[in-house]
Amino acid sequence: MDDKRDKVVALLEETGLIDRLGFVLRFAQSRVWSDLVTAFEPFGLRPGHYSALLMLRARPGCRQQDIGEALGVQRPNLVAMVEMLEKRGLVARAVNPADRRSYALNLTDAGLALLDEMDEAHRAHEARLAAMLGPINPAVLLPGLRRLAGFGEEGDA
Amino acid sequence: MDDKRDKVVALLEETGLIDRLGFVLRFAQSRVWSDLVTAFEPFGLRPGHYSALLMLRARPGCRQQDIGEALGVQRPNLVAMVEMLEKRGLVARAVNPADRRSYALNLTDAGLALLDEMDEAHRAHEARLAAMLGPINPAVLLPGLRRLAGFGEEGDA
DNA sequence: GAAACTTGTTATACAGTATAACAATCCCTC
DNA sequence: GAGGGATTGTTATACTGTATAACAAGTTTC
C-alpha cells in the first residue's frame, strides 16, 4: 500500500517539486492540519475554535476584533464562530462599559474545562507530529517557520 | 507600522500558539503561498498550474490522473485546469492508442517556453523566501517538512 | 456638533475541495 | 468471446474558507 506513496515521491523528485520549499510547505501543512482537524473533531470544534479559546484564556475580556487580528481572520468570518461558541455555552459576551459597540468576551467555566480537554488532544497531536518527524526535533523547524510566517525572531528584519 | 505585527506576535506568545508546530506551520504556509500566488499572477496562472506543467515536462504523455495523484488533486477538479491550459495553447491532448479513455498530455512549445519564464519567477520567489529566513538555511527545513508531508526520507518510517 | 473612524453584523461572492453519478473504455475470468 | 468489475474523464453539485461592500450603533477628533 506504500506503492502509491512511493510513486508520488518519485514523481515529485522528477519534477523537482520535492526541493521547492513553498510546495513542500504546502503538502506538509495540509497533512498536519488534517491531523489537527481530526484531533478536535470529538469536541465538535475546529482548530480555529481552539485558538480562539486560547486567546480568551490568555486575554480575558478581549474583543472579537482582537481575536481576528491575532489569528488573521476577517471580522465578518468571526461572527458565526463566536456565535457558535456562545450558543454552546463556552464563551460569554459581557457589555463593555468603556466602549458599548464591542463586547468583552470571556470563557465560561464550561469553556475553560473544555479547553483543558482540548489541550490534552493537542498534546496527543504533537506527539503524532513528533512520530512523523522521527529523529528530527520539532524545535529545528520552528525558528524558520516563524520567520516565514513573519514573526521575526527577537526584533531583527 | 510594525506595531500591529508586534502586537500579534505578543498575543501569539501569550497564548502559546507561537510554539505549536501545527499553527505556526499554517501561518507560514499561508504567507509563503501568497507570495507564490502573486509570483505567478503575471502569467495568469496559479501555483497549481505551474506544478502541473512541471509534471508534463518531467513525464511527457502522462495522463490527467497522474497529475492528480502527484499533486493530491481530485479528478473532477483537474478538468477545468487542464481545459484552461489547453485553451491557452500550453498543453495538447493526444489520443492514447494504448488506452482510448485517457488522453496523453504534452507541453506545447509555447507551454515549454512559458514554463521557463515561470521557473524564473519561481527562482525569484525562493530568493524572497531566503530573505525572509535570513540566517536560516532553507535546507534546514526541508527534511522535516518532507517527513511531515509523508514523503519519508530514504525508506524509513 | 459634524466628520471621520471603529465594532459587530448582514449579505454576498468567489476559490478550493469533496462526493455522486455517468458514458466510454479497459481488464479479467469463465 | 461475453459479461462483470474496475478505471478515465466528465458533469453536476455541495460545502468550506475566505474576501468585499454596505450598514447601524457607537466613539473620537476637531
Q: Convert the pLDDT of each residue in A47-63 to its tens digit.
A: 999 999 999 999 999 99
Give percent helix, percent strand, percent coil of chain B, each to the nearest 5. 70, 5, 20
CB contact under 8 A, B141 and A21: yes
Q: Which residues contact A119 (CB under 8 A, 6 or more apart)?
A: none
Q: What's the pTM?
A: 0.93
* Confidence category of residue A124, pLDDT binned at 50, 70, 90: very high
What is the per-residue pLDDT for B156? 45
What is the per-residue pLDDT for B154? 59
- Kindly determine whether the C-beta of residue A40 is less than 7 Å away from any atom of nucleic acid strand C: no
To 10 degrees, what angle do helices A47-58 and B21-40 make?
120
Model confidence over A27-38: pLDDT tens digits?
999 999 999 999
Give the closest residue to A22 by CA, choosing from B100, B42, B30. B30
- Grid coordinates standing for B93? 491532448
**Taking a C-beta distance cutoff of 8 angstroms, is the pair B23, B17 a contact?**
yes
What is the per-residue pLDDT for B2? 67
The mean pLDDT value for A107-134 works out to 97
In this complex, the residue of B28, B51, B54 whose CB is nearest that of residue A149 is B28
What is the per-residue pLDDT for A152? 81
* Confidence category of residue A7, pLDDT binned at 50, 70, 90: confident
Question: DSSP class of residue B104?
Answer: E
Compute and round to an integer the Cα radius of gyration of chain A: 19
A residues 79-118 lying closer than 8 A (beta carbon) to B: none
Mean pLDDT score across all residues of chain A = 94
- Kindly determine whether the C-beta of residue B74 is less than 7 Å away from any atom of nucleic acid strand C: yes
Place of cell 501561518: B27
Averaged over successive runs of 10 residues, the pLDDT of chain B (157 residues) comes to 80 95 98 96 96 96 95 96 96 92 96 97 97 97 97 62
The nucleotide closest to A69 (CA, C1' atoms):
C7
